[in-house]
Amino acid sequence: PLVSMKEMLEKGKENGYAVGQFNLNNMEYAQAILQAAEEEKSPVILGVSEGAGKYMGGFKVVVALVKALMEEYETTVPVAIHLDHGSSFDKCALAIQAGFSSVMIDASSLPLDENIAITQKVVELAHLHGVSVEAELGRVGGQEDDLIVEDAEAAYAIPSECERLVKETNVDCFAPALGSVHGPYKGEPNLGFDRMEEVMNLTNIPLVLHGGTGIPTKDIKRAISLGSAKINVNTENQLSQAKKIREVLAEQPDQYDPRKYMGPGRDAIKETVIGKMREFGSSNQA
């Protein structure tokens, strides 16, 4: 069923696992991720960035596609459709109107008071519709779609500010930027685990780890043990899909039927997602 993230994340936090957010880029992603979740009996979050939503034909198209696939696949596991890095109140409202079950308001580029004010407004609307909300403080580095944060602007969240934002907004989960990066890492990731522990103790709500691609398993496990109940992955699926499609086209240079290369690409995404669900411990938790 299509549900908000609230319950699945609280269960994850309580039982020591994380639910993966896997981003959609086109239909094959929706198919691969829903198939993986059902096979693994895992709850799942389908992340939709504003750019990917636009590419797929708009938020309403995304919701219709996901709902139709869930019906076709007879999906039994909990599924959330989540706006990833929502850039404004209006974009969050549009997603809610289109039928998203969850939204992220990313006002992390604004001063704390403004971030809190916008997040409050989003929470008020979202909760009226049973939709869950994620907020962010600090700044995740790297690039995702149009969201580009230079190294110098990337910032670790400050625990006391995190406590204030969570208490004053009543968000359902919270992403403190603590050194994770969108896209591939340059060298080893350097996550601020001490601060993560502090934020966990001060906020006591499920935490979100962005930039899940390229984080070693030991760091994933440590983040989960410190309250991270949602881990976002996008680039890793894109890399495995692109690699597979390159292989197929290199082996069959005359191939032009999209199903013959997009299909194997889809299977590669599915395998990657299954691996993540096992690593995050969400398999067999639905």
Under 8 Å between Cβ of 194 and 167: no
> Taking the CB of residue 195, how many other CB atoms lie within 10 A of it?
19
219 is catalytic: no
User: Is 210 annotated as contributing to ligand binding?
Assistant: yes
Under 8 Å between Cβ of 213 and 184: yes
Binding partner of residue 241 among Zn ion, ligand G3H, none, CB under 5 to 8 Å per kind?
Answer: none
Beta strands in the chain (DSSP E): 19-23, 44-49, 79-86, 102-105, 132-137, 141-144, 147-149, 173-176, 181-182, 207-209, 228-233
User: Is 281 annotated as contributing to ligand binding?
Assistant: no
Q: Where are the alpha helices (DSSP H) in 111-172?
A: 112-128, 159-169
User: Is 235 annotated as contributing to ligand binding?
Assistant: yes
CA 219 – CA 228 distance, rounded (Å): 11
Asked if 230 is part of the footprint of Zn ion (rule: CB under 5 A), the reply reads no
Binding partner of residue 233 among ligand G3H, Zn ion, none, CB under 5 to 8 Å per kind?
Answer: ligand G3H
- Near Zn ion by CB under 5 A, which window of 12-20, 161-169, 203-211, 216-224? 203-211
Closest distance of CB 76 from ligand G3H, Å = 26
CA 63 – CA 42 distance, rounded (Å): 20
Could you list the residues that contact ligand G3H (CB under 6 A)? 23, 47, 84-85, 144, 182-183, 210-213, 232-236
Closest distance of CB 230 from ligand G3H, Å = 10
| Residue 152 parent element (H or E) | none
Asked if 210 is part of the footprint of Zn ion (rule: CB under 5 A), the reply reads yes
User: Is 232 annotated as contributing to ligand binding?
Assistant: yes
Question: Rule CB under 5 A: which residues touch Zn ion?
Answer: 210
Task: Point out the annotated binding site.
Answer: 85, 106, 136, 182-183, 210-213, 232-235
User: Which residues have a catalytic role annotated?
Assistant: 84
